[in-house]
Amino acid sequence: MENTFFSKTIVCNLGEGKIAKSLNDIENKYEDLKIGSYPYFKPEGFGTSIVLRCENEEILRLAGDDLICSIEDNGGKGKIL
């Protein structure tokens, strides 16, 4: 039987290096959570897209909330897509 994964993408206006420790901490906090971060550069600025993946929707929700708080604590703005 194939496992079902859920995903959530969060974009923020911070560089990847500014939130790298938080991403590592959040990934280690939740079992089976995987995080991928993808920096982007656009004419209006730069930021990072973060993709959270997990088989458990509740863990995904909690991790997303933690990530938004971490982004805001680092002076950024985050949005769930």
Assign residue 14 the CATH number of its domain.
3.30.70.260
What's the one-letter identity of residue 80? I
Write out the residue range of the structural domain in which residue 10 sits.
Answer: 6-80
Q: Is residue 59 one of the residues assigned to a domain? A: yes
**Would the pLDDT of 79 be above 90?**
yes
Q: Are 32 and 43 in contact (CB under 8 A)?
A: no
Q: Mean per-residue pLDDT for 64-77? A: 96
pLDDT at 1: 58
pTM of the full predicted structure? 0.90
Instruction: Quote the CA–CA distance of 71 and 12 in Å, as a whole number.
Output: 7
Q: Mean per-residue pLDDT for 57-76? A: 97
